[in-house]
Amino acid sequence: MLANSKQHAPFALSEKQIWLALAKQVPVDGKLVPNPNTTWNQIDPALPAEKIEVLGPPPTSGTRDAFVELVMDRACEEFPETKALADAAAKQAACQTIREDGVYVDAGENDNLIVQKLEANPTSLGIFGYSFLDQNIDKLQGSTIQGVAPTFENIADAKYPVARSLYFYVKNAHASVIPGIRDYIAEFTSEAAIGEDGYLADKGLIPLPEDQIAAVRATATELKPLSM
């Protein structure tokens, strides 16, 4: 998710605007060129006339992978110049490559460091997991994306676009031969773990709505195979 300091007004952005801020190359006059955008109002006059600075995780991070998948790849499809690229590798590079000219700041794997830097630079945005917003809600505020605020309810209902589910995969063939597999499944689908007040919520994970939890629990308990 994206967030910034409460010392600044909250950001309300679209996926398209985020891509135009962070992509290494963007369309200009029908061609992909090195990203010329250095302030938000260059992307949209309604946005602040402030320097674009986004602090985020490195390429080795799962959070970075999720951000690329949920925002960069999806927003890229809105531009005819990238959508028309026939070569799959070229298209992937155009969509996913984040600029390296100082606008995107690789803050490493330490999300607490991003929080500290956002406090010191109120006009900056940070990319990190929801738990860090929740733990620093007195200092930070989440950015509205596509008109949706990053509330607990919106994330649980999969309405907030910069969030995704966490999956566990278990091979059915292992369930009958490896001791503890069924207990492992039962534990991670128990109310104590994935319920609204479960211990995984304390770790920053957001539980599914109750009706979905029941369906997930039944699927896991019955070892129903995934349908592809």
Q: Which pTM value belongs to this model? A: 0.86
Containing structural domain, residue 150: 2-156
151 inside domain: yes
CATH number, residue 25: 3.40.190.10
pLDDT digits (tens, 9 = 90+) for 96-143: 999 999 999 998 888 888 888 999 999 999 998 888 888 899 999 999
Which DSSP letter does residue 178 get? S
- Are 149 and 122 found together in one domain? yes
Q: How many domains does the chain have?
A: 2
Are 17 and 121 contained in the same domain? yes
Q: Are 53 and 124 in contact (CB under 8 A)?
A: yes
Beta bridge partners of 181: none
Question: Percentage of residues in the chain with pLDDT exceeding 70?
Answer: 99
Together in a domain, 188 and 91: no
Q: Is residue 162 part of a domain?
A: no
Which bin fits 78, alpha (ψ -120 to 50), beta or left (φ > 0)? alpha
Shortest CA distance to 128 belongs to which of 149, 111, 147? Answer: 111
> What amino acid occupies position 48?
P
In a domain, 85, yes or no: yes
Torsion of CA 168, 188, 58, 162, to 10 degrees: 80
Cβ–Cβ < 8 Å for 140, 25: no
CB burial string 22-57: b at 16+ within 10 A, e below? bbbbbeeeeebeebebeebeebeeebeeeebbbbbb
pLDDT per position as a tens digit, 44-89: 999 999 999 999 999 998 889 999 999 999 999 999 999 999 999 9
In a domain, 21, yes or no: yes
Whether 6 contacts 140, CB under 8 Å: yes
CB-side exposure of 174: number of CA atoms within 13 Å? 11
